[in-house]
């Protein structure tokens, strides 16, 4: 799913959100915490053309209310932009490391 591309400290990638209840409380905490570990400015979009929101702000990430099946788009600018996008795409692909915890959660 990941299609990271990088040039001159700018990077972009997209990934399908498979988490059962969408980009919900716990996944959003994990996503924004991970984003904050990078120096690059990182934005998240629920469509290829945005609208773009700050991936380090849990208030804004939650307000996007992305349901299961949304394709999440990341774009980053800064020295570690490539690593940042790759790490965030990987986190979503791993289903936020909590697939098992949500079994049966209609």
Give the Cα-Cα-Cα angle 89, 90, 93 (nearest 5 degrees): 90
Site string for other proteins, 5-34 (x = CB under 8 A): ----------------xx-xxx-xx--xx-
Q: Is 41 in the site for other proteins (CB under 8 A)?
A: no
Q: Would strands 10-16 and 71-77 be described as parallel, antiparallel, or unpaired?
A: antiparallel
Residue 19 known to be catalytic: no
The footprint of other proteins on this chain (CB under 8 A) covers a number of residues equal to 21
Q: Please, which residue, 22 or 78, has the CB nearer to other proteins?
A: 22
Angstrom distances, CA of residue 19 to CA of 27, 75, 81, 82: 8, 21, 25, 24
Q: Please, which residue, 35 or 40, has the CB nearer to other proteins?
A: 35
Q: Is 78 in the site for other proteins (CB under 8 A)?
A: no
Q: Is 104 in the site for other proteins (CB under 8 A)?
A: yes
Q: Are 28 and 61 in contact (CB under 8 A)?
A: yes
Enzyme catalytic residues: 24
């Amino acid at each position: 799913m990941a299609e990271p591309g990088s040039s001159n400290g700018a990077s972009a990638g997209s990934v399908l959100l498979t988490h059962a209840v969408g980009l919900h409380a716990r996944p959003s905490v994990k996503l924004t915490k991970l984003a904050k570990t990078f120096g690059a400015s990182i934005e998240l979009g629920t469509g290829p053309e945005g609208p773009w929101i700050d991936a380090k702000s849990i208030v804004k990430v939650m307000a996007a209310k992305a349901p299961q099946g949304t394709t999440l788009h990341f774009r980053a600018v800064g020295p570690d932009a490539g690593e940042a996008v790759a790490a965030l795409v990987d986190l979503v692909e791993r289903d936020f490391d909590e697939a098992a915890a949500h079994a049966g959660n209609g």
